[in-house]
Structure 1
Amino acid sequence: MTRSPGTPLPPPHERRRLREAGALTRARLAERVGVRPGTVRAWESGRRSPRGRNREAYAKLLAALAGPAGTAGDAERGAGAGARESVFARQKEEGTAVVTVRLEKPARRGAVVPEASAFAQAPPPAAPRREPVPDGHEGTAGLTPAQAFDALYAFCAPALVRQAYLLTGRRDLARESVERAFQRAWDRWPEVARDPDPAGWVRAAAYEWALSPWHRWRRHDRRAEPPPPDADDRALLDALLRLPPPYRRTLLLYDGVGLGLPETAAETEASTRAAAGRLTYARESVAALLPELSDPDELHRRLAELASTGRLRAAEPPEVRGGSERRARFWTRAAVAFTVALIGTTALTLRTAPTRYEPPVPAGETVRGVPPRVAPGPLSEERRELRDRLREELPGGPERLAPQTR
Structure 2
Amino acid sequence: MTQSPAPPLPPPGERRRLRERGALTQDQVAAQIGVPVKTVRAWESGRTAPRGRKLEEYARLLAAFAEPGPGMTADRGTGRTETTEPLERQTSPDAEPSGAGPANGALTPPQAFDALYAFCAPALVRQAYLLTGRRALARESVERAFQLAWQRWPEVAQDRDPAGWVRAATYDYALSPWHRFRPSHRHGERPPADAADRALLDVLLRLPPPYRRTLLLHDGVGLGLPETAAETEASRRATAKRLLHAREAVAARLPELADPSGLHRRLTGLAAAERLPTTKPTTVRVNGERRARFWTRAAIAFTVAVIGATVLTLHTAPTRYRQPVPAGETVQGVPPKPAPGPLSYEQMILRDKLLSQEHNGPERLVPEAR
Q: TM-score, normalised by structure 1?
A: 0.60
Residue equivalent to 2:26: 109
For 1:236 and 1:252, locate their aligned partners in 2 and report how far apart those are by CA, in whole Å: 12
Matched, 1:188 2:105: no
Call closer, same or farther: CA 1:210–1:280 in 2, change over 3 Å. same
Which secondary structure does the structure 2 equivalent of 1:105 belong to? helix
Instruction: Give the alignment of 1:234-383 within 5 angstroms.
Output: 234-366=198-330, 369=336
Deviation of residue 237 (structure 1)? 0.9
Instruction: Give the alignment of 1:16-165 within 5 angstroms.
Output: 105-106=18-19, 108-111=25-28, 115=74, 117=76, 119=78, 123-124=88-89, 126-127=97-98, 129-131=100-102, 139=104, 141-165=105-129
Retained in 2: the 8 A contact 1:153–1:317? yes
The aligned amino acid for 2:277 is R
Residue equivalent to 2:131: 167
Alignment: residue pair count = 269
Deviation of residue 362 (structure 1)? 4.0
For 2:146 and 2:131, locate their aligned partners in 1 and report how far apart those are by CA, in whole Å: 18
The aligned amino acid for 2:78 is F
Q: What do the CA deviations read for 1:239-284 (whole angstroms, capped 9, x no partner)?
A: 2112111111111111110000110111111111221121112112
Call closer, same or farther: CA 1:370–1:218 in 2, change over 3 Å. farther
For 1:148 and 1:86, locate their aligned partners in 2 and report how far apart those are by CA, in whole Å: 16
Deviation of residue 365 (structure 1)? 4.6
The aligned amino acid for 1:105 is L
Call closer, same or farther: CA 1:252–1:103 in 2, change over 3 Å. closer
Call closer, same or farther: CA 1:116–1:355 in 2, change over 3 Å. closer
Identity %: 66
Which secondary structure does the structure 1 equivalent of 2:101 belong to? coil
Q: TM-score, normalised by structure 2?
A: 0.66
The aligned amino acid for 2:100 is R
Retained in 2: the 8 A contact 1:118–1:307? no
For 2:218 and 2:269, locate their aligned partners in 1 and report how far apart those are by CA, in whole Å: 16
Q: What 5-or-longer segments of structure 2 have no aligned partner?
A: 1-9, 30-64, 66-72, 83-87, 91-96, 340-370
The aligned amino acid for 1:119 is T
Call closer, same or farther: CA 1:215–1:128 in 2, change over 3 Å. farther
Q: What do the CA deviations read for 1:342-381 (whole angstroms, capped 9, x no partner)?
A: 2222222232233344443343355884799xxxxxxxxx
Higher mean C-alpha displacement, 349-358 vs 161-170 = 349-358
Call closer, same or farther: CA 1:212–1:200 in 2, change over 3 Å. same
Retained in 1: the 8 A contact 2:251–2:257? yes
Deviation of residue 206 (structure 1)? 0.7
Retained in 1: the 8 A contact 2:147–2:288? yes
Deviation of residue 128 (structure 1)? 5.8
Retained in 2: the 8 A contact 1:156–1:199? yes
For 2:16 and 2:240, locate their aligned partners in 1 and report how far apart those are by CA, in whole Å: 30
Question: Which runs of at least 4 in structure 1 moved beyond 6 Å after TM superposition?
Answer: 83-87
For 1:104 and 1:242, locate their aligned partners in 2 and report how far apart those are by CA, in whole Å: 30
For 1:193 and 1:116, locate their aligned partners in 2 and report how far apart those are by CA, in whole Å: 23
Residue equivalent to 1:198: 162
For 2:338 and 2:274, locate their aligned partners in 1 and report how far apart those are by CA, in whole Å: 92
The aligned amino acid for 2:221 is V
